[in-house]
Amino acid sequence: MIIDTTYLLPLARIGIRTDLLRAIVEKRTNIDLELTDLKISLISVFELQAKATKLGISPENISEAINVVLNVFDTIPFYRPDIINTAYSLYRNYLNDYIDCIILATAIVLKEPLITEDKRILSKKKRVKEHYDIEIYSYDDLIKQ
């Protein structure tokens, strides 16, 4: 499963309602999911750093979060030609945020489900399922209520 950058924010001490990593560790998901099942696009490391910096998180906490990400998760390069081609197509036909296109393209190329809180991506999940045959979930879709 590919996870969007949002779910990495708690690693940089940024509190969010949708703490997927904690829910997985606490076994509160509807599907059998382990941290080792998660993959990220390398672009999420940059996005994590940028968001944390914007929120005033210390460089030490940012570096620590990035080290955890790189050591725990399978990180997929965003510069793979197949991901670039798919992201280009997504940008032209689905989304106007290129970073989101890269993250979604990573899921499409790897044929992995994507979990995201991005409303623009979630609004396209039916079209993406029909065209690329991948599932897109939100936190609420996967968490036991």
Coil vs helix vs strand at 14: coil
Q: What mean pLDDT do residues 36-42 have?
A: 96
Q: Which two tokens stand for residue 40?
A: 């990220």
Exposure class string for 88-126: b at 16+ Cβ within 10 A, else e:
eebbeebbeeebbbbbbbbbbbbebbbbbbbeebbebbe
φ, ψ (nearest 5 deg) of residue 94:
-130, -50
* Residue 144 pLDDT class (50, 70, 90 cuts): confident
Torsion-angle region of residue 56: left (phi > 0), alpha (psi -120 to 50) or beta? left
Measured between alpha carbons, how far is residue 39 from residues 5, 15, 53, 94 in Å?
A: 11, 21, 23, 22
What are 87-121's pLDDT values in tens digits? 999 999 989 999 999 999 999 999 999 999 999 99
CA 47 to chain centre: 10
